[in-house]
């Protein structure tokens, strides 16, 4: 029963975002009554009662809170954003809305209904069973899904970059991470949101955003940012460091070893003590509570369903590193359920 309620909460939150409720209240700058909210988001007048039911659930979920509005000596209930609700505002650099919309898109949800079928067939992933294509093939052929996917990855990169360069406990974890390097290759960097954030924060660093040719086609670089198309299984541009943010969890162990061996080749000629920097989940590593571990395990299922990938614990990561020719690693657990892994 609890899991069903959680699913309904996700759908209700998605509805609120699509109606623009968080953005509307944010722009209003103060609590909004139900009547004001109804007029601002332009819903059918017959749905006023239903909007009240929606806001009641969203308030209970912690995204909004009730505040009294004083009008002509009368009190009226209004709704304001909580700190959690701020994460649903699209203009917030820490917004989770693009990622949520991508995960809850009907094309993204469809593979879950084929999970049992997938366990009994030879398809690579449940996503392929549902759509007849891999997630990357569908993104390449369906603009709407591709836009959702790219926006989700870009929003996640903004979240990670904001923490690395603005909010880290050390003052600036990001600059410390890239200090002493002259060049960085962001492998699977997509449209370059993360690469650009690093290039802007570290102007001494020559950055390359490396992804499939059709992903980076037509994208314009800057003084210290270049876009290069290619295939990470075949060759990776040389650099002092290689960044793999949310890449390896999409691939099985054999494929990960191939990628890491290409990374090793790319840093071999570095005179700066070449390294590979991985941003990904280390299951069970310094998880402070049950919910953190549960979130890691749910992400594990997500990549299994989408790409037959997997999240790994520290022992599994270490085995990959050894098989790819690396013998030293360091884990920095400063990104919530994710970690930064440096391998040498």
Out of 113, 131, 214, 249, the active site residue is 249
Decide if 81 contacts 61 (C-beta within 8 A). Answer: no
Res. 24: pLDDT tops 90: yes
Q: What is the distance between the alpha carbons of residues 272 and 278, in angstroms, rounded to a whole number?
A: 18
> Domain spans of the chain?
2-86, 97-343
> Among the CATH numbers 1.20.810.10, 3.90.930.12, 1.10.10.10, 3.40.50.2000, which is that of 2-86?
1.10.10.10
CATH architecture of 97-343: 3-Layer(aba) Sandwich (3.40)
Q: Is 93 helix (H, G, I), strand (E, B) or coil?
A: coil
pLDDT for residue 72: 72
Decide if 64 contacts 88 (C-beta within 8 A). Answer: no
Q: What is the distance between the alpha carbons of residues 38 and 47, in angstroms, rounded to a whole number?
A: 9
Type and span of the H or E element at 44? none
Q: Model pTM?
A: 0.87
The predicted-structure confidence for 80-129, as pLDDT tens digits, reads as follows 999 999 999 988 878 888 888 888 888 999 999 999 999 999 999 999 99
The predicted-structure confidence for 195-205, as pLDDT tens digits, reads as follows 999 999 999 99
Q: Average pLDDT in the 58-65 region?
A: 93
Q: What is the distance between the alpha carbons of residues 111 and 133, in angstroms, rounded to a whole number?
A: 11
pLDDT for residue 113: 95
% of the chain exceeding 90 in pLDDT:
65
108 alpha carbon, distance to own chain's centre: 14
Name the band, by pLDDT with cuts 50, 70 and 90, for residue 336: confident
249 is catalytic: yes
Q: Is 41 helix (H, G, I), strand (E, B) or coil?
A: helix
Give every strand in the sheet of 32-33, ordered side by side. Answer: 32-33, 74-81, 64-71
pLDDT for residue 204: 95
């Amino acid at each position: 029963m609890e899991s069903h309620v959680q699913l309904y909460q996700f759908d209700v939150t998605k509805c609120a975002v699509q109606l623009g409720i968080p953005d509307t209240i944010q722009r209003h700058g103060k609590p909004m009554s139900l009547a004001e909210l109804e007029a601002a988001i332009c819903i059918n007048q017959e749905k006023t009662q239903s909007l009240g039911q929606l806001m009641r659930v969203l308030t209970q979920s912690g995204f909004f809170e009730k505040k009294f509005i004083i009008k002509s000596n009368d009190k009226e209930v209004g709704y304001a954003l909580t700190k959690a609700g701020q994460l649903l505002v699209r203009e917030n650099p820490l917004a989770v809305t693009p990622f949520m919309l991508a995960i809850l898109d009907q094309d993204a949800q469809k593979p879950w209904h084929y999970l049992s079928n997938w366990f009994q067939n030879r398809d690579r992933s449940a996503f392929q069973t549902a759509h007849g294509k891999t997630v990357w093939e569908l993104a390449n052929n369906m603009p709407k899904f591709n836009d959702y996917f790219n926006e989700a990855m870009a929003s996640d990169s903004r979240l990670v970059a904001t923490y690395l360069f603005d909010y880290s406990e050390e003052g600036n974890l990001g600059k410390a991470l890239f200090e002493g390097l002259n060049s960085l290759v962001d492998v699977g960097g997509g449209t370059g949101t993360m690469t650009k954030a690093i290039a802007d924060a570290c102007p001494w660093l020559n950055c390359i955003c490396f992804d499939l040719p059709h992903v980076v086609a037509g994208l314009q670089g800057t003084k210290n940012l270049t876009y290069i198309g290619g295939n990470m299984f075949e060759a990776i541009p040389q650099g002092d460091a290689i960044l793999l943010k949310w890449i390896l969890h999409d691939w099985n162990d054999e494929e990960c070893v191939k990628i890491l061996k290409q990374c090793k080749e790319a840093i071999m000629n570095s005179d700066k003590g070449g390294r590979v920097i991985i941003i990904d989940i280390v299951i069970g590593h310094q998880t402070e509570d049950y919910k953190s571990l549960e979130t890691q395990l749910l992400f594990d299922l997500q990549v299994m369903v989408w790409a037959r990938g997997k999240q790994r614990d520290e022992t599994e990561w270490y085995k990959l590193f050894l098989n790819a020719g690396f013998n030293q690693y360091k884990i920095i657990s400063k990104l919530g359920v994710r970690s930064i892994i440096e391998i040498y």
